[in-house]
A and B are shown apart, each in its own frame.
Chain A
Amino acid sequence: MSEMDNRPMLLEVDNLQTHFRTMDGVNRAVDGVSFHVRSGETLAIVGESGCGKSVTAMSILRLIPEPPGKIAGAIRFQGKDLLKASDREMRDIRGNEISMIFQEPMTSLNPVLTNGQQIGETLRLHQGMSAQQAEARAIEMLKLVGIPEPERRVREYPHQLSGGMRQRVMIAIALACNPKLLIADEPTTALDVTIQAQILDLMRDLKTSVGAAIVIITHDLGVVAEVAERVVVMYAGRKVEEARVGDLFRTPRHPYTQGLLGSVPKLGSSLTGETTRLAEIPGLVPSLKQRIPGCVFATRCPKVTELCRAVPPALQEKAPGHIAACHYAEVEGVAAA
C-alpha cells in the first residue's frame, strides 16, 4: 500500500508540450509530459540526451525562446499557471521562488562581479535589500554551502575559485532568496567524482536545512539513486515511467528503464563476478521531427509488437505509485495482457 504523501502540491506540470520549428520540420522536444512536485520533495527527471529533460526544465521557467519554440499545456506553480503569467510576473518568480542551477559552473557566473555581488544581486532585486544587508546574507549563504573563509571569498571573483567551489557559489545564488523550488540541470556532470560527492552531500544536507523542493535533471542513474525520492524517466519527449526511487531501481517496468539499468556497469562487478557483457539497447533514438504514432520506444524495444508500433500505450498505474507507459508491463495483481 502506498503511504500517503500529505505534503502540499507545489508544481503541477500538465500535458506540457515544447516544440521547435527547425530547418527540417517541427522538433517535438517535449510532447505531452505531466508530473508533479510536492513541497520539500526531490524529484529526478532522468533520460538520455535529446529526451527533452532539459527542455522541460527550461520550459518551467519559460526560458525557451519563442519563436522558434512554442510551449503548450499548463505549468501550475502554487496553483498559478506560469504559462499564463506576464513577463514581469515571471521575472519575479525566477531566482526568487523558483531558481535554477546549470551544469557548467564556469560559464554560468559573471566574471566581472565578485561572488558576493552575484549572490547579492538577486537579493537586492527580489527582496530590496541594501548592499550591506546583501553582503551579510551572501556571507551567510557561502557559509551554508560550505565555502571556507566566506568573509574573504565574498569579495573574490569566480575565476579565483575551483570548479567545485564555483558550483557551490551557484547553489548559494540559487538558494539566496529561499526558493520553494530548485531546478538543478545536471549539477554535477561537469565535476570530478570526489567533488561530485561533495556537492551531492551538500545538496542532501541543504534539503533538510532549507527545505526547498528539488527537481534534479540528470542522465546519471547513480546520482538519481543517491538523491531522489521519486523519478520520472523520459524518452524521446515523453514520460515513459514514474515511480519512487526504490521501486524504480528494484522493479523497473518499462523496457526502456530496464535497458537503461542493464546497460550501466555496477561498481564492484568484478568482485561478485556478475555478467561480463553489458546489456545494449540497440539502435538509435527516433527522430522527433516525425510524429510517432505508437510507442516511442517501439524502434528499440525487445518486446515490440505491431500493436506497439500502431497504438501508443497510456501511462497506467502498474503498481501503487508506479506508472509506466507499456502495453506489456504487467499490472500488479493482474495477469499479463
Chain B
Amino acid sequence: MSASALPPGLPPGVSIPPGLAIAKLPPDILSDVKPRRGIWGFLGRYPAIAIGGSLLFLMIFVAVFAPFLWTKDPTALAPALRTREPSAEFWFGSDMLGRDVYSRVLYGARVSLIVGFAVAFFASLIGLIIGLLSGFNRIADSIIMRVMDGMMSIPPILLAIALMALTRGSVQNVILAITVAEIPRVSRLVRGVVLSLREQPYVEAAVASGTRTWKIIFKHILPNTLAPLTVQATYICAAAMITEAILSFIGAGTPPIIPSWGNIMAEGRALWQVKPYIVFFPAVFLSITVLAVNLLGDGLRDAIDPRLAKRI
C-alpha cells in the first residue's frame, strides 16, 4: 500500500511505522443524501397522506367557505330556470326546481363532512370505551361481544335504515344511526389490540410493579391503541359518508330541505337519462372525498406500521 492511500487528516503525533499493512477502504457506493426531514420529507415519503390530505383539506375549505365561492342560495327555487345545462350562470346546471346544482353540491359537502367526522369521532370514542372494558373484564367481555356479534350479523346500512325508520330525519339522527351501526367493528378492533397489549412484557412488568389497573389502562394500554384506532377512524369516516349518501338517496337520511350529496342525487335520479349532470357532480364530489379519506387512512397505516417504517 502506498502512502497516498492514507486517509486524510492523520492526527498530529501519529506516525506510521514502516511496513504497516494499511487497508484500502472501498469508496461509498451511495451518495450520502439524507432524505428530507420535517413535514415535507414526511409527505414525500407518504404520498398517500399528501394527496389524500390535500384533497380532504380542499373539501373542508369548500365546505367552510361555500358562501364565498360564488354560490347562490342553495335552496332558492326558480321554477322558470328549471333543468338548465351547465353554463356560465349555472356552472353545474340547475335541477328540476331551478336550484343551482353548483351551490347545492358545495353546501352538500358540509353535511357529508360533518356526518363523516362526527361518526368517526363518536364511533371511535364509544368503541374505545367498550373495547377497553371488554378487554379487561371477562364477564363484561362475554356479554358485550355476544351483543356485538348480533349487531354485526346485520349489515350496517340495514341497521342504519332501521334506526332511521324509528326517528325523524335529521342530521343528528343520521349521525346517531350510523354511529350505532359502526360501533361493533371499532369495539372488536380495540378489544383485539387491548388483548394483545395486555400480553406485552411491559404491561406485565407494570402489574409486577404494583401499578393499579386503571393506571395500566390509561398509561400503558390506551396510548398504544390510539395509532391503530386513528387509522380505523379514517375508514369509518369514509364509510359513514357513503352510508349517509345512501340513506339520503333512499329518503331515509338527511331531510330534503338540507342539501346533501345523497339528496341531490336522489332528486336528479328521475332525470338521469336526460339531465345526467345533476347526479354526476355530487357523485364525483362524494367519490373524491371518500377516496381522499381512504388514501389518508392508508398513508397513516403505512406511516404507523413499524414493520414498514423500520426499513434497514
Task: Report which A residues bind B (CB closer than 8 A).
Answer: 15, 17, 19-29, 31-32, 55, 68-70, 72-73, 291, 293-294, 306-307, 309-316, 325, 327, 337
Contacts and interface: CB of A to CB of B under 8 A. Distances in A.
A26 B32 contact: yes
Interface stretch (B21-29, B145-153, B247-255): B21-29
A266 B29 CA distance: 42
A219 B24 CA distance: 27
Interface string B21-58: 11111101111111100000000000000000000000
A306 B23 contact: no
A293 B14 CA distance: 14
B30 A32 contact: no
A311 B22 contact: yes
A221 B88 CA distance: 81
Contact of A19 (B1, B9, B29): B29
A25 B28 contact: no
B17 interface: yes
B34 A311 contact: no
Nearest to B45: A23
A26 B7 contact: no
A311 B10 contact: yes
Contacts of B23: 32, 312-315, 325
Contacts of A307: 14, 16, 20
Contacts, number: 85
A24 B34 CA distance: 6
B260 to A, nearest CB: 43
Given A22-B312, A313-B21, A314-B21, A291 B10 contact: no
A21 B28 CA distance: 11
Top 10 nearest A-B pairs (CB, nearest first) are A314-B21, A314-B23, A312-B23, A32-B26, A72-B29, A316-B21, A306-B14, A293-B7, A19-B30, A26-B30
B306 interface: no
A311 B20 contact: yes
A31 B22 contact: no
B201 interface: no
Nearest to A337: B17
B220 to A, nearest CB: 27
30 contacts: A17-B29, A19-B28, A19-B29, A20-B311, A22-B312, A25-B32, A26-B28, A28-B28, A31-B25, A31-B26, A32-B25, A32-B26, A55-B312, A68-B311, A70-B29, A72-B26, A73-B26, A293-B9, A307-B20, A310-B7, A310-B11, A311-B6, A311-B10, A311-B14, A312-B22, A312-B23, A314-B21, A314-B23, A314-B24, A337-B20
Contacts of B30: 19-21, 26, 70
Contacts of A29: 312
Contacts of B34: 23-25
A32 B157 CA distance: 61
Contact of B13 (A27, A293, A306, A325): A306
